[in-house]
Structure formats: structure tokens, C-alpha cells
Amino acid sequence: MESDTWEWYYEHVGDGECPIVDTWWQTETGSVLLSTVPGVDEMKPGAVGPALPGIEAAVVDEHGRELPPGEPGCLAITRPWPSMLVPHDDDRYWLLAEYWEEFSDRRADTWQYFTGDRAVVDEDGYVTVIGRADDVVTLGNRRLGTAEIEAAITAVDGVTEAAAVAGGTDETELYVFATAEQDSRSEAELREAIEDAILDRIGQFARPAAVVFTPELPETHTGKTMYRVLKGIVDDEPLEESTPLRNPAIVGELATVWNRSD
């Protein structure tokens, strides 16, 4: 969970005394693999914690090589665990290619389970998950997880939610959609603060081509942002299916505010 969410739970739900345990696992892993142990491990807001006893995990690059602390990459499990699903060399078993063959042609000397999540690990071995590996944008020949950019934006006072997509003729321009608190700073002030936050935490190459304010982001019924809707707005492509949206009316509102921003 985000560090500010953790802090809120710790203060308002745990009354500043109860441990708040964040965990990482997947259906495919069969059980929790990364977590702090209350009363044993130090709590770190925003981090799910280290690998549990018997589990080995690493953050690796696109070639399957382990990355140093502080450098984001792909989260991989590097030692099998009994509760994990077992891959079968069968055409019907599509998960084989999805999870185990990602690095098979690059690291034949080791076993790795590719989780599909981007993460970063600190000096203490605590892992912070920063988004899905396929939620990325390419800016200035650099690939960035949208979660990294959005974390910089939502850290701005007055911004409640944000989504970042790439667009433009060469798909390398950054477009930001954000929602703001009521009675917060003016849009002009917030826009400048957002741009400053991105330049400070990401870099000059990520300067957004536009920052658009919207009352809501397009979300599914489970609360996930539908980036293809925002991408369609930026690229002026019609939305073919709005059924998955919890708030389908927002598509028209987004188009309106986008056109006003041109």
C-alpha cells in the first residue's frame, strides 16, 4: 500500500500502537511470500517487507540479472516454494510462457519466476512494489513505470489521484490526468507544482506535455484505472467498450476537459 495509506491506518485504525502488516502474494504463489512479521521485523510504510523465511526474491533487470538496492526492476522469485503452481510443458498451459519463460532465453543458469510486478528493494531487503511491469511509458528512450510517475504527482499537496499515459506522434510524450481536492490551490498553481514534482523526482526528460484536471479517473468496478480510456482521449480514438467502467459518464467529461485544454 502507499506510504500515506499506511500512515493513515497506523494513526487512525491502529491508534499509533498496532502493527500494520502489508503483504505481497499472488493467486499463483498460493500464499504470502513477502511480508514483515509483527513483533519481529521493523515496519516501513510503503514497503511490503522482506521475503518470508524459506522464500528467496530479487529485483532483476530485463536480462534477469539482480539489481542493486534502490534501482527499480522486475520482481522475481528465485527459489521455488511448495504452494506455488507447477508449470507444465503443455500448449493448454498458457501460464508457462507468461511466468516462467520470460527470462528462459537469457538466464539458462538459474530458476526464476517472473511475477509481472515492478519493484525496488532497499539495503535491508525490504521490497516496495511500484506497479505492474506492463504499466510503463517510454520517455526519452527510458522506460518508466506509471506508478513511479503517479507517486510523484500524488505527493503534491492538493492532488488526490493521478494517471499518466504516453501519447503524441512518437508515443514519447507524457500526459497527466489528475483529480484535486475541493478548495485546493488553483489549477495553474497545481499544474506548476505537479510539473516541478515530476522534474524533481523523475527528471527533465519526463516534463509533461499536458496536465489535465478531471473530477474522476475512469475506473473499473474494482477501482483500477482504465489507462486505455485515457490513451484514447489523448490519441482521439473512440472508446469501443465502456461496460467495464464503474463510471462510464466520465468518458464524455474527460473528452470535454481535454478539448478545453488544447
Residue 80, strand partner residues? none
Q: Where in the chain is the domain with CATH 2.30.38.10?
A: 3-130
Three cell numbers at 204?
Answer: 527533465
Instruction: Name residues whose C-beta falls within 8 Å of residue 124's C-beta, 6 or more positions apart in sequence.
Output: 42, 44, 50
User: How far is the CA of 5 from the CAs of 98, 112, 117, 178, in angstroms?
Assistant: 31, 31, 20, 18
pLDDT confidence bin for 236, thresholds 50/70/90: confident
**Over the stretch 51-108, which tens digit does the pLDDT of each residue have?**
999 999 999 987 888 999 988 888 999 887 788 766 555 443 344 444 445 454 544 4
The CATH architecture annotation of domain 136-261 reads 2-Layer Sandwich (3.30)
Tens-place pLDDT, residues 50-65: 999 999 999 998 788 8
DSSP letter (8 states) at residue 171: S
- What CATH number belongs to 3-130? 2.30.38.10
Domain with CATH 3.30.300.30 in the chain: 136-261
10 Å CB burial of residue 36 (0-12, 13-18, 19+) is buried
pLDDT, tens digit, 9 for 90 and up, residues 177-233: 999 888 778 889 999 999 999 999 888 889 999 999 998 888 887 677 888 889 888
